Amino acid sequence: MSVLLGLFSLVAIGAGVFFFVAGTLALLRFPDSLSRLHALTKADNLGLGLVVLGLLPRAGSPLAALKLIVLWAIVQLSSATVAQLIGGALRRQDAAE
Amino acid sequence: MSPWIIAGFVGAGLVGLGLYALVVNAQPLRKLLAFNLIGSGVFLVFGIVARRGAVGPFPFDPVPQAMVITGIVVAFAASALAVALMLRFAEETGRVTLDPDVWTKPKPDDGAEDQ
Amino acid sequence: MILFDLGLAVLVLGVAAWTIAAREMFSAVVGYVAYGLLLAIVWVRLYAPDVALTEAAIGSGVTGVLLVVASKRLSLLPQADAPPGRGLKRAAAALSVLVAGVLAAAVLTLPDPAPSLAPEADRELAATGLGNAVTAVLIAYRSFDTMLEKVVLVLAVVGVWSVAPDRFWGGRPAPLGPPRPDAALVFLARVLAPIGIVIGVQMFWVGADEPGGAFQGGAILAAMAMIVMMARLTEPPRIDSGRLRLALIAGPAVFLVVGLAGPLMAGSFFAYPAGFAKPLILFIEGFMVLSIAVTLPLLVAGPPSRKGEE
Amino acid sequence: MNDVLLTAAGIILMTVAAGLVRVLDGPREVDRMMAVQLLGTGGIAALLLAASATEVAGVENVALGLALLSSFASVAFVTASPGTAKRARAGER
């Protein structure tokens, strides 16, 4: 059982790392701001989400696990909102130009 | 090479970088950033003193750490005061520089004045 | 491990170099925010989670807002910087290299074994009833120091206010947000603020035993007040409000009163009576949290800039 | 296992730090802000991984604090973007 859980952690964390790498590559390589924003939110949400998922079996207590989930939810909330705000700011800037 | 030595060198490097920028930049906000770099460099050097003082049950000496915490808060208060001063200064004069040469030369008509 | 530390060191120095070399003020400020985040990780590596939390909340979060807003306002004005002369640059570089070199040499020649107050801090820890030695240093061993630091915060607020033009004295600071904030921002403030308040209070409460404490909890509460103001759900308060001023000085005042009562209760200035130390410490810290949560947003909001009659 | 976690933390941190090249390049201010946002999230992930792998107590609290505040600079950036700042200044006079 613990071997399975360990494997699960490894796979989830590995996938999380992948999304961070992909998000960063996209931030560096994508041609315009809006598509970079799109890529960034993937790294924010999926990357951190998968890392948290992978760490859940290793959390010492149910409360510690809950803390991890709350943390992820907070990042979800604020990063999604910030993406929306940045998108809006981009559109206003483009309209002004 | 232990981690604390690396952090100590980073602190020393930050003080050097900040000092250079503090002298060279004429813009007050840049000077403020430079000043904060110096401050955090000093905090880091003090932080390694805390790390090296690990005796007994703690992996650190709590006394320098507590002083760094108060230091960070005071540094923020000082930054806020500096920002208030420079915004007011800019509002009064329409300029953002501490370069003495700019102030002794006649003022260019840049259209920034609205009073 | 060592690779991680070396990489982090190069990163911190690189971002710091960027903040001083950047051509535009705004990108320098953005670099500084990133620098604050990285510094918090360095503090974790130095086994200083309390400092890391303070750096993350104040050094990066609240200072970031202050600097971003300031750079945006200043960038509206013409920049009239003459580039520094070569002589000045060389002299400054020589001076910086000298100072950094002396500091680095000092780091290498720190006394061995290192002087430490950790044993002393540990010896009396049980008497304070606390589990977090850093909190014990702040509120018990060096309480006078911490009380004066709270006074410095009040003085900073007075300093910021005194920059105001006479005609606005007693009015409100400029709003932190746009006249018609984005609906998404209002949503974020409405949802994040209650969660943040719970977490801030929790961080203050667990600070007795775990990393956290009055500064960190207060800073998070302050940040929540700021986001509510940025979404224009509330306005910065009038600076002549009596309640506001009471909240500002509550922390240092309660601290001072308890300290002055020390000679009567425990035989010495700023001493706590045996067996009653922890409740007293939490009592003081509660008021400190209140004062910090009020002070930091006021410092970011700046001097009053409108009359704000109601 | 701990080494794996720390390696993952290092990879994430170094990757998102590479994203900081966007702070250098821009070209728009928004791009700079996005790079810092990514660094914040990556920093949180790295801290959580490091916390799980090492014995430093309370690192999750640091990560929680970062999570609450990582978006603040971006929010300030959007609310203080030039148009709104001009209006605010006009209102001051």
Q: Is D78 on the interface with C (CB under 8 A)?
A: yes
The pLDDT of residue D92 is above 70: no
Cβ count within 10 A of residue A93: 16
Q: Would you state the pLDDT for residue C277?
A: 80
Long-range contacts from C236-242, C-beta under 8 angstroms, 24+ separation: C236/C172, C236/C173, C236/C174, C236/C175, C236/C176, C236/C297, C236/C298, C236/C301, C237/C172, C238/C170, C238/C171, C238/C172, C238/C304, C238/C308, C239/C161, C239/C169, C239/C170, C239/C171, C239/C172, C239/C173, C239/C298, C239/C304, C240/C169, C240/C170
The pLDDT of residue C81 is 62
Asked if C57 is an interface residue toward chain D (Cβ–Cβ < 8 A), one would say yes
B90 closest CB neighbour out of C13, C47, C77: C77
In chain C, which residues have their Cβ closer than 8 Å to the Cβ of D31? none
Which residues of chain C does D92 touch, with a Cβ-Cβ cutoff of 8 Å? 174, 305-306
pLDDT exceeds cutoff 60 at A83 = yes
Task: Decide which of C274 and D72 is more confident.
Answer: D72
Q: Do C53 and D20 touch (CB under 8 A)?
A: no
- Digit-coded pLDDT (tens) for D29-85: 888 888 888 888 888 998 888 888 777 777 888 888 888 888 888 888 888 765 444
Is residue C182 classed exposed, middle or buried when 0-12, 13-18 and 19+ CB atoms within 10 A define those classes? buried
Chain C nearest-CA residue for B10: C9
The proportion of chain C whose per-residue pLDDT surpasses 90, expressed as a percent, equals 26
Please determine, for residue D25, whether its predicted confidence score (pLDDT) is greater than 80. Answer: no
Alpha helices in chain D, H assignment, sequence order: 2-18, 21-25, 29-53, 59-69, 72-79, 82-92
Phi, psi for B26 (deg, rounded to 5): -100, -10
Q: Do chains A and C touch (3 or more CB pairs under 8 A)?
A: yes
In chain C, pLDDT over 70 holds for what percent of residues? Answer: 97
Cβ atoms of residues C303 and C161 within 8 Å: yes
Confidence check: pLDDT of C123 > 80: no
pLDDT band at residue B104 under the 50/70/90 scheme: low
Beta-ladder partners of C306? C172
d(CA D76, CA C227): 9
Name the closest residue on chain C to residue A67, using Cα atoms.
C199
Least confident piece of the model among C30-34, C96-100, C112-116: C112-116
Give me the residues paired with residue D33 across strands.
none
What local confidence, expressed as pLDDT, does residue B1 receive?
59
Among candidates A56, A68, A45, A50, which has minimal Cα distance to A13?
A: A50
pLDDT at residue D5 is higher than 90: no
D82 CA to chain A: closest CA distance, Å? 10
pLDDT at res. D91:
42
Q: State whether D12 and A75 contact (CB < 8 Å).
A: no
User: Can you read off the two tokens belonging to residue C216?
Assistant: 């960190």
pLDDT at C26 over 90: no
Q: Which residues pair with C172 in a beta bridge?
A: C306
Residues C212, C162 contacting (CB under 8 angstroms): no
Name subunits touching B (3+ CB pairs < 8 A): C
pLDDT value at position D90? 42
Mutate to test the interface with C, among D32, D68, D74 (most CBs of C within 10 A): D68
pLDDT recorded at residue B114? 43
**In angstroms, rounded to a whole number, what is the distance separating the alpha carbons of residues D63 and C36?**
14
Beta bridge partners of C173: C304
- Cβ-nearest to D23 among C27, C203, C305: C27
| Nearest by CB: C76 against D9, D62, D86 | D86
Boundaries of domain holding A42: 2-96
Instruction: Give the pLDDT mean for B2-31.
Output: 89
Encoded tokens for C304: 């009053």
B35/chain C closest Cα distance in angstroms:
11
Q: What is the CATH number of domain B3-104?
A: 1.10.287.3510
> Which residue of D30, D70, D71 is in closest CB contact with A89?
D30
**In the beta sheet, which residues pair with residue C304?**
C173
Per-residue pLDDT tens digits for D52-61: 877 777 788 8
Residues of C in contact with D80 (CB under 8 A): 68-69, 72-73
Q: Please, what is the Cα angle at A58 between A55 and A62, to 5 degrees?
A: 100
Kindly indicate the confidence band of residue C170, based on its pLDDT and cuts at 50, 70 and 90. confident
* Chains with 3 or more CB pairs under 8 A to chain A: C, D
The ranges assigned to domains in chain B are: 3-104
Residues C150 and C156: their CA atoms lie apart, in Å, by 10
Residues A25 and A19: their CA atoms lie apart, in Å, by 10
Interface test with B, best of C4, C25, C27, C163 (most B CBs within 10 A): C163
Highest mean pLDDT among C21-25, C65-69, D32-36: C65-69
Give the pLDDT of residue C246.
Answer: 92
Structure tokens at C226: 């700021």
Q: Is B99–C80 a contact, with Cβ atoms under 8 angstroms apart? A: yes
Contact A52 D48 (CB under 8 A): yes
Reading the block at residue A96, the tokens are 């002004």
Summarize pLDDT for B38-80 with one digit per residue, the tens: 999 999 999 888 888 777 677 788 888 889 999 999 999 999 9
The shortest C-alpha distance from B98 to chain C (Å) reads 9
Residue with tokens 């006074």: C151
pLDDT grade for C80, boundaries at 50, 70 and 90:
low
Q: What's the confidence (pLDDT) of residue D88?
A: 41
> What are the strands, taking DSSP E only, across chain C?
172-173, 304-306
Q: Return contacts of D1-6, CB within 8 angstroms, 24+ apart.
A: D1/A6, D1/A9, D1/D53, D2/D53, D2/D54, D3/D53, D4/A10, D4/A13, D5/A13, D5/D49, D5/D50, D5/D52, D5/D53, D6/C1, D6/C4, D6/D49, D6/D50, D6/D53, D6/D54
DSSP category for residue C113: S
Range C92-118 average pLDDT: 86
Query: Which is nearest to D36 in space by CA: D80, D5, D66, D81?
Result: D66
Contact yes or no for D34 and A36 at CB 8 A: yes
Residue C29, CB-side half-sphere exposure with 13 Å CA sphere:
29
Cα–Cα distances in angstroms (integers) from residue D88 to residues C133, C222, D84, in the given order: 45, 22, 6
- Do the Cβ atoms of C304 and C170 come closer than 8 Å? yes
Flag if B95 and C108 touch (Cβ within 8 Å): no
Highest-pLDDT range among A28-32, B33-37, C300-304: B33-37
Regarding predicted confidence, which is higher, B115 or B49?
B49
pLDDT in tens, A10-22: 899 899 999 888 8
A14 or D26, which is more confident? A14
- 8 Å CB contact of D76 and C230: yes
Quick one: pLDDT at residue D82? 54
Query: Is the confidence at residue A44, as pLDDT, over 70?
Result: yes
pLDDT of D2 strictly over 80: no
Per-domain residue ranges of chain C = 1-73, 129-310
* Residue A36: both structure tokens together: 């970079």
CA triple A76-C204-C158, angle to 5 deg: 100
> Over 80: is that where the pLDDT of C49 sits?
yes
